[in-house]
Amino acid sequence: MELGEVKTEGGTRLSMGEKRRERCKYFSQAKLLRNYLVISAL
User: If pLDDT is split at 50, 70 and 90, which confidence band does 34 have?
Assistant: very high
User: If pLDDT is split at 50, 70 and 90, which confidence band does 24 have?
Assistant: confident
Question: Is there a domain that residue 39 lies in?
Answer: yes
Question: Is there a contact between 6 and 19 (Cβ–Cβ < 8 Å)?
Answer: no
Question: Is there a domain that residue 2 lies in?
Answer: no
> What is the per-residue pLDDT across 1-21, written as a single tens digit (0 to 9) for each?
455 555 555 555 667 788 888
Question: Is there a domain that residue 28 lies in?
Answer: yes
Euclidean distance between CA atoms 35 and 4, whole angstroms: 31
pLDDT at 28: 92
- If one counts the domains in the chain, the total is 1
For residue 38, give its domain range: 16-42
Question: Is there a domain that residue 23 lies in?
Answer: yes
**Nearest alpha-carbon partner for 6 in 26, 25, 20:** 20
Question: Is there a domain that residue 5 lies in?
Answer: no
Alpha carbon 41 to its chain centroid, in Å, reads 26
